[in-house]
Structure 1
Amino acid sequence: MAKRAYSVSDILNKKYKVIPFEGEWGAAFSQPESNGSWFIWANSGNGKTTFVLKLCKELSKHERILYNSLEEGSAKTMQNAFLNAGLASVKRRLILVQESIEELCERLDRPKSQNVIVLDSFQYTGLSFERYRELVRRYPKKLFIIISQADGKQPSGRTAKRVMYDASLKIWVEGYRAFSKGRYIGPLGYFTIWERGAKEYHGM
């Protein structure tokens, strides 16, 4: 059976569920769709983890979040990062796990599972590009936020690069700023993670 074709009117009249970012978040990333995949990458020491957790705090206003910490688990470093990002107020709106993709899917198959899933980091998931696509298609109403290590200014590894190109919102973190490189760019185009550090790094 042929798939449905959409007219221009169909597209223009279609209603989308979005993340209603406002303020500095909207200025950086506009109002992206609340499903599919986002991709965040950076080299170490640029504020990536702090940014991701601040993003989680903002998203927790609208959705419940599952943070799959494959790289650090529940280590002291994650506790420190949670404190620095002010996540104490989020409480049960965010839960942290350290699970394989198979275990993760079992959790997501449960009724009322979280709608936002953070995978940190992609290099620890063992996912091929095809399995990544299957995961996103299996849960079409959920949002996957994929964190990646970097090699220079590119995601580390060929598969990670393919995932980055596939994602609707691509965010590159450098010098304590998170820059929108994807299909959603607000009027400013970046989010400042740490003001003083960003000014020192970027010379502004």
Structure 2
Amino acid sequence: MKQRAIPISQLSKQRFRGLEFEGPWADALGQPEITGAWLIWGNSGNGKTRFALQLAKYMCRFGRVAYNSLEEGASLSFQRAVDAVDFTPVSRRMIVLDKEPVHELIARLKRQKSPDIIIIDSVQYTGLKYQDYISLRDTFRRKLFILVSHADGKLPEGRVAKSIRYDAMVKVWVEGYVAYPVSRYGGGQPYVIWEEGSQQFYQNTEQQ
């Protein structure tokens, strides 16, 4: 049975490895760990999938990445989104899962040399209840789950996604091709996903 009670003196001596993020990624997200969960949310057409894919490519520096495209699957639109990011340099460390159900994903993650970082797009297509999410996170404590969610206004859509937002170590609101992070690991600076798209979005907003 895993020891739950840890003396405070022992905790202070434990060494936790933060990922050595650099540049805009460090400015946005700080020095995170491969554990727990993050949440990315935004309205349609604002760049959340593009951001998730850019993040997936960057995370390939630190481990094996699986992107479970539950919403789009292996489709022309998703292919174009992937091609825009260009995964060629990291293709050996990245796999795409074509609408893989959560129970099959769990079986995959129990295998040796399974992905370290799992991106699930999107929460609304998982069928998970909040307790299912907690169980998934706690079963694989040495893995990082990055969940993508639809938005309802400026909040994640649905009770489950809203609850995940409170639990997540990193929370990222995406609007107008800019990611606005709140991270327990530092950072906190906006991250521009697509400069041209961002400029056009905010020009249109000012004209309204």
Settle same-fold status: TM greater than 0.5.
yes
Offset of 1:200 from its aligned partner?
A: 4.2
Offset of 1:20 from its aligned partner?
A: 1.5
Contact 1:40 1:173 in 2 (8 A): yes
Match of 1:189 in 2: 189
Comparing 90-99 with 140-149, which one deviates more in the overlay? 90-99
| In structure 1, distance between residues paired with 2:20 and 2:38 | 16
Deviations 1:122-147 (A, max 9, x none): 00000000010000111110000000
Match of 1:155 in 2: 156
Amino acid at match of 1:110: R
Tell me the SS of whatever aligns to 1:110: coil
Comparing 140-149 with 87-96, which one deviates more in the overlay? 87-96
Deviations 1:41-79 (A, max 9, x none): 000111111111110110001111111111111101111
| In structure 2, distance between residues paired with 1:65 and 1:32 | 16
Tell me the SS of whatever aligns to 1:5: coil
Instruction: Note the 1:2-81 alignment, pairs <5 A.
Output: 3-7=4-8, 9-81=9-81
Match of 1:116 in 2: 117
| In structure 1, distance between residues paired with 2:94 and 2:39 | 19
- Alignment gaps of 5+ in structure 1: none
Match of 2:82 in 1: 82
Offset of 1:85 from its aligned partner?
A: 1.0
Tell me the SS of whatever aligns to 2:15: coil
Match status 1:99 vs 2:132:
no
Amino acid at match of 1:15: R
Offset of 1:96 from its aligned partner?
A: 0.9
For normalisation by structure 1, the TM-score amounts to 0.92
Amino acid at match of 2:52: V
| In structure 2, distance between residues paired with 1:99 and 1:139 | 17
Contact 2:29 2:182 in 1 (8 A): no
Pair 1:19–1:165, CA change in 2 (3 A) = same
Match of 1:127 in 2: 128
Moved segments of 4+, more than 4 Å: none
Aligned residues: 202
| In structure 1, distance between residues paired with 2:151 and 2:181 | 16
Offset of 1:107 from its aligned partner?
A: 0.6
Match of 2:166 in 1: 165
Contact 1:29 1:190 in 2 (8 A): no
| In structure 1, distance between residues paired with 2:26 and 2:58 | 11
Match of 1:144 in 2: 145
- Alignment gaps of 5+ in structure 2: 204-208
Offset of 1:89 from its aligned partner?
A: 2.2
Offset of 1:197 from its aligned partner?
A: 2.7
Tell me the SS of whatever aligns to 2:80: helix
CA RMSD of aligned residues (A): 1.8
| In structure 1, distance between residues paired with 2:197 and 2:10 | 46
